[in-house]
Amino acid sequence: MRKFALIGYKLGHSFSKKYFTDKFEKEGLDNCLYELFELAHIKQLPGLLIEQKSLEGLNVTIPYKEEVIPLLDDIDDSAKRIGAVNVIRIQDGKTKGFNSDYYGFKKSLEDWMDINPSETKALILGTGGASKAVKTALEDLNVEFKFVSRTASDDTLDYASLNAKPELLDEYRLIINTTPLGMLPNTDSCPDLPYDRIGGGHYLYDLVYNPEETLFMKKGTDRGAKAKNGLEMLHLQAERSWDIWNGNE
């Protein structure tokens, strides 16, 4: 039996198990199984790999996309550049980290926007592991961007400053939420933005996919903005994971 799994903490919201279980059934891959392993600490990973010797691949979700890196035997060059890993291939007892979030986000963004992304500037909401793949994709698309977080730094605005200068949204028309705000069950939460400054020229991309329309997206579409959730990105990155596990990356 070929075994694959997702590791992270708090996996109740996970899309991966259903996606891969359905894929294996649909494609007649009766020898494949996908499981969930909730780890209270990433240091439990080596023990898991010893226990689960048939594991061939892992997906990695929050909060371990960065913390997992020092525990791996090798890292793909693109994942090294991004600074986050969400796919691990296990071969001959050795682990190698990759990043499929980059591919999923970049392709879905290019296919969705009806302008070239480089024609506007972007705000990346959040500074966690997922934001790193978004950052690298935007760099490769020649999109100027700024991070927004609770704490300001040289390259990061805080939400208070953004709300104090709402006219910045006239310039930054692509807004990407990489935080879990709005995800089930906390559907009444959203990033703290000056939403009344958002209009028909804005694009709101939410990496959250459950619910289908987050409060962040609704507040944008109510004002004429275009909005997209993270489901297509997840499908793309999942298929990329499968290619990686099978050596077809």
Out of 3, 10, 23, 65, pick the active-site residue. 65
Query: Rounded distance, CA 64 to CA 39, Å?
Result: 9
CA-closest candidate to residue 35, choices 22, 17, 49, 19: 17
- Per DSSP bridges, beta strands 203-206 and 172-177 are parallel
Query: Rounded distance, CA 152 to CA 66, Å?
Result: 21
Strand partners, 122: 145, 174
Dihedral-angle region of residue 224 (phi above 0 means left; psi in -120 to 50 means alpha; beta otherwise): left
- Report CA-CA distances (Å) from 107 to 68, 98, 207: 25, 17, 13
Query: Rounded distance, CA 193 to CA 182, Å?
Result: 14
Residue 96 known to be catalytic = no
Question: How many residues belong to the chain?
Answer: 249
Query: Rounded distance, CA 1 to CA 53, Å?
Result: 11
Query: Rounded distance, CA 68 to CA 7, Å?
Result: 10
Sheet strands (E) in 120-244: 121-125, 144-149, 156-158, 172-177, 203-206, 226-228
Query: Rounded distance, CA 4 to CA 109, Å?
Result: 28
Catalytic residues: 65
